[in-house]
Amino acid sequence: MGLDQGRFNSERYQVFLKQVLNDTTQHVILIQDGTRYHTSEAMRTFFQMHQERIIVFQLPSYSPDYNPIEFLWKNVKQRSTHNQYFVEFSSLVDSVNQGLAYFAE
């Protein structure tokens, strides 16, 4: 299953994490938000099965102080994509790049 197609879900998250575990012998520390695929029953089971290698820290429900990039994304979204329809993906990318350039200045 390729990770580049479709919605990200618990199954795809597990595939990704298994690849990370295969790529390193080190312990893995995850700091994650409350997205459903992070907190599903399937993921709780997965984390339990891999507790010797994976440590999970769960962020509180709303925690922009722990993830300050969210402020930038909110402003870029409001400036570049809010209430707009993009016929082509490239137009969306251009609009977001313009929004990022605005905030970079």
So where are the chain's domains? 10-58, 69-104
Q: Using 50, 70 and 90 to split pLDDT, how confident is the model at 8?
A: confident
Judged against a pLDDT cut of 50, whether residue 49 lies above it is answered with yes
* Alpha-carbon distances, residue 83 vs 36, 69, 77, 78, 100 (angstroms): 25, 22, 10, 9, 18
Angle, helices 69-80 vs 89-104, to 10°: value is 120
DSSP β-bridge partners for residue 55: 29
Mean pLDDT of 49-75: 85
pTM beyond cutoff 0.75: no
User: Mean pLDDT across the stretch 89-94?
Assistant: 93
Q: How far is CA 30 from CA 25, 96, 104, in A?
A: 15, 28, 29
Helix H or strand E segment including 29: strand 28-32
Q: Where are the beta strands (DSSP E) in 39-99?
A: 54-58
